[in-house]
A and B are shown apart, each in its own frame.
Chain A
Amino acid sequence: DAKTTQPNSMESNEEEPVHLPCNHSTISGTDYIHWYRQLPSQGPEYVIHGLTSNVNNRMASLAIAEDRKSSTLILHRATLRDAAVYYCILRGSYGGATNKLIFGTGTLLAVQP
């Protein structure tokens, strides 16, 4: 399975941008990069995904390195509600080894008021 590496924890101040890094040096050409987050006592929540180009949605932005071996999830203005565990996951085509969603331990983001 293609693996991702994330810092165990990060801290941010409210209303400041947050950059959450993820390394995935063994990514294959057809693997999508997905981000999910899990707030305390809730199921995971989809945040964003991308393949090669940077992506933006109402929740966040995803910046993908040119060689695709790393990516960064950007929260433009952190709020207290963004305190959660953030998971970076690679997902490949159906039938391949990485089609299942494989969660690692993620990054625990703390947001200070």
Chain B
Amino acid sequence: DAGVTQSPTHLIKTRGQQVTLRCSPKSGHDTVSWYQQALGQGPQFIFQYYEEEERQRGNFPDRFSGHQFPNYSSELNVNALLLGDSALYLCASSLYGLAAFDEQFFGPGTRLTVL
């Protein structure tokens, strides 16, 4: 059983460009959450998708948007990239994503570098 997979592994972009990151959840999971982790910091919650809708959002600007497909996979889009967007982007999937007792499974992340 494959766990959470993310693509690409690494990405280099320049300021002002747009980027799309992809995530396939663990088999059977219907909820996907995205996190940004800057170097030396803990992951910061971006948003969470369930039933193809954004259910919760962290403190991130509208430049960060997402989508969830009928097969539960998800994309994270970032527009007008800034140098400060350089980070590891983590995707996590879960079975009871909205429940307080839910366990999240994380992917290996996509390392984004903005030059």
Q: Which residues of B contact A31 (CB under 8 A)?
A: 100
The stretch of A12-20, A75-83, A85-93 in contact with B is A85-93
Chain A, interface size category, equals 20 to 34
The stretch of B11-19, B42-50, B63-71, B72-80 in contact with A is B42-50
Q: Which residues of B contact A49 (CB under 8 A)?
A: 101, 103
Contact B43 A103 (CB under 8 A): yes
A87 vs B41: C-alpha distance when bound (angstroms): 11
Contact B33 A101 (CB under 8 A): yes
Give the size of the chain B interface in residues (CB under 8 angstroms): 26
Q: Which residues of B contact A113 (CB under 8 A)?
A: none
Interface of chain B: mostly helix, strand, loop or mixed: loop
Shortest C-beta distance, A24 to chain B (Å), equals 14
Q: Which residues of B contact A85 (CB under 8 A)?
A: 42
A94 with B98, Cβ < 8 A, contacts A100-B58, A103-B43 known: yes
Taking the complex as formed, is B25 at the interface, i.e. its CB lies under 8 A from any CB of chain A?
Answer: no
Q: Would you list 25 pairs from A and B whose C-beta atoms are within 8 A, ordered by A residue?
A: A32-B100, A42-B108, A43-B90, A43-B107, A44-B90, A44-B92, A44-B104, A45-B106, A46-B103, A46-B104, A87-B42, A91-B101, A94-B55, A94-B100, A99-B98, A100-B45, A100-B56, A100-B58, A101-B33, A101-B35, A101-B104, A103-B35, A103-B42, A103-B43, A103-B44
Extra pairs beyond A94-B55, A94-B100 (9, CB < 8 Å): A42-B108, A43-B4, A44-B90, A85-B42, A87-B42, A91-B102, A100-B45, A101-B35, A105-B41
